[in-house]
Amino acid sequence: MNELIAVTYDVCEVENLYESMIEHTISDTNNLDEEVAAIAARDIAPVVKVFNQNRQLVKEYTFSQYECNCSELD
Ligand SMILES: [Zn+2]
């Protein structure tokens, strides 16, 4: 098995927040970019980190469309 773990992060620079949310197991690693994009959309996560089973970082994705906009509200 070649499972990976994708962890979604909630990030807010204004509130100095950088917090892990949900861990997802990815079994179909052939379409990693698509799997991660779907996970980010589900959790509305601006950052997703993908780890292997040894908890080593494989790849980090950022999705600027899910960044919070609270700095623009003032
Ligand atoms: Zn914010």
Q: Per-residue pLDDT averaged across 13-22, rounded?
A: 93
CA angle centred on 26, ends 23 and 24, rounded to 5°:
15
Confidence of residue 13 (pLDDT cuts 50, 70, 90): confident
Residue spans of the domains in the chain: they are: 4-72
14 C-alpha to ligand 1 centroid (Å): 5
The pocket of ion ligand 1, defined by CB under 5 A, consists of 12, 14, 68, 70
Q: What pLDDT is stored for residue 25 in this prediction?
A: 96
Q: What pLDDT is stored for residue 29 in this prediction?
A: 79
- Minimal CA–CA distance to 19: which of 33, 9, 29? 9
- Minimal CA–CA distance to 11: which of 52, 53, 51, 60? 60
Q: In this prediction, what percent of the chain has a pLDDT beyond 90?
A: 78
Q: What pLDDT is stored for residue 30 in this prediction?
A: 87
Q: What pLDDT is stored for residue 35 in this prediction?
A: 96
